[in-house]
Amino acid sequence: MTTQLQLPADYQKKYNKVLSYGDANTRIIQLQNCSLPPENSVFTASWWQKNAEITGSASGRGKTLFVRHQQQDSILRPYLRGGIPGKILSNQFFFTGFERTRAWQEFFLLLDMLALQLAVPEPVMACIQKSGLIYRNSIIIKRIPEAADLHHILCQQPLSEKALHTVGKTIRTFHDNQVYHHDLNIRNILLDQQDKPWLIDFDKCGFKPGESWKQHNLARLQRSLLKEKRKLPELHWQEQQWDILIAGYNDIN
């Protein structure tokens, strides 16, 4: 796909480093410095097997591929439905406009958060393919180098008090910028080799006004810790450690 399109008028000035390609039924958006071709096939495993490298995979709601192109490690993630609808529609969503698709919204949300200097990965490309009233979509995002999610780390060792404090403080920076993470859990928080926390997976997330939701957001994270501890009693987590994380959250200096 080579037909370049203009972004919607209200996007053009703010996102002047984003390119758009497509036709009546497809949109591919990517950063100007992206070296990948703007083609639908880039979002398939077969393209990476033939033209670049698949370095691994992870299974969650769907299969995420870890890929490498020109020394850049990224993830290729399709959007899939969960719950009962997911058993029927799987990767199909009702189309109400390209700008309202999940891949489009996450791509530009990541750019907005990066502009606020929040600890999130950089988007590379997103693809939306429409067929009648439904669409399918995928996104490619840069991997955080040498980082692991909190669940993986806690299966190996406890977090230091400093790391816990920093995790809490990092979550606070998102909340102070009114960023709502729809699925804040220990698999969506990473620590790199310098113990810097990063948040990932911003599907169905966004900027949200108000204050009351923030405590519910923290409660969701706490529930995920307790749930994983029940499933794996040897997980290196004790309930009293939550107070350290919250102390970091409340440290506004």
Q: What is the pLDDT of residues 122-162, one digit of tens each?
A: 999 999 999 999 999 999 999 999 999 999 999 999 999 99
Number of domains in the chain: 2
Picking from 151, 192, 153, the residue whose alpha carbon sits closest to that of residue 170 is: 192
pLDDT interval class at 61 (50, 70, 90)? low
- Structural domain ending residue among the three candidates 142, 168, 193: 142
* Residue numbers of the domain that contains 190: 148-250
Decide if pLDDT at 245 tops 90: yes
Catalytic residue chosen out of the listed positions 73, 112, 183, 195: 183
Would you list the DSSP string of 202-226?
-TT-EE--SSHHHHHHHHHHHHHHH
Which two three-digit tokens encode residue 74?
A: 């990224």
Instruction: Mark whether 66 and 134 lie in a shared domain.
Output: yes
- Compute the chain's Rg from CA coordinates: 19
Q: Residue 11, Cβ neighbours under 10 Å: how many?
A: 16
- Residue 73 φ/ψ, nearest 5 degrees: -90, 130
Q: Is 112 noted as a catalytic residue in this protein? A: no
Q: What is the pLDDT of residue 85?
A: 53
Looking up residue 182, the CATH number of its domain turns out to be 1.10.510.10
Q: What is the pLDDT of residue 253?
A: 72
Instruction: Mark whether 152 and 107 lie in a shared domain.
Output: no
Instruction: Mark whether 130 and 157 lie in a shared domain.
Output: no
Instruction: Mark whether 104 and 123 lie in a shared domain.
Output: yes
- Structural domain ending residue among the three candidates 142, 166, 187: 142
Instruction: Mark whether 138 and 153 lie in a shared domain.
Output: no
Instruction: Dump pLDDT digits (tens) for 218-239.
Output: 999 999 999 999 999 999 999 9
Instruction: Mark whether 52 and 96 lie in a shared domain.
Output: yes
Mean pLDDT throughout 73-80?
96
Q: Which DSSP letter does residue 199 get?
A: E
- Structural domain ending residue among the three candidates 85, 118, 142: 142
